[in-house]
Amino acid sequence: MPPQKIPEQIPVLITDRDIEGGIAGNVQAAEEVTLAALISKYLTKLGFQNALASSVVVQLLTHGKVRVDFSTTAERLELKNMRDMMPATDAMALFDDYANRLKTADDNANKGKTMRIMVQRPRQ
């Protein structure tokens, strides 16, 4: 078995679409980034303590693609190379290792801050 890649070595394709009336519209942007850049983006956007960031990354690494809906946009994330897929335990370890490398002393000092989470009912 080949050695496990690090997030800087795993390319990810991101396609952004606007959401109008609950439906994804035309493609607004498409780019290729590394998994490291994607993890950093989600940790910044969702917070270091947010389980959603790890869920998105683990889903991407175990299934090869995932769609993440925000209030006004939808992001479709896809592994450029499906050979980068891995078991969930390996994906979680990869995410945790990278996230821990990014943490600073200030992050640990803010460990008890309150997070606001909004849950919406799915459209019927």
In a domain, 61, yes or no: yes
In a domain, 82, yes or no: yes
Residue 26 has a pLDDT of 78
pLDDT surpassing 70 at residue 85: yes
In a domain, 26, yes or no: yes
29: exposed, middle or buried (C-beta count within 10 Å: 0-12, 13-18, 19+)?
A: exposed
Whether pTM exceeds 0.85 = no
> To which residue do tokens 């050695």 refer?
3
Q: Retrieve residue 40's tokens.
A: 């950093």
In a domain, 81, yes or no: yes
In a domain, 72, yes or no: yes
* Higher-confidence position of 94 and 49: 94
* Number of domains the chain contains: 1
In a domain, 118, yes or no: no
Residue 105 has a pLDDT of 47
Mean pLDDT value across residues 64-90: 90
Least confident of 4-18, 44-58, 73-87: 44-58
Residue 116 has a pLDDT of 58
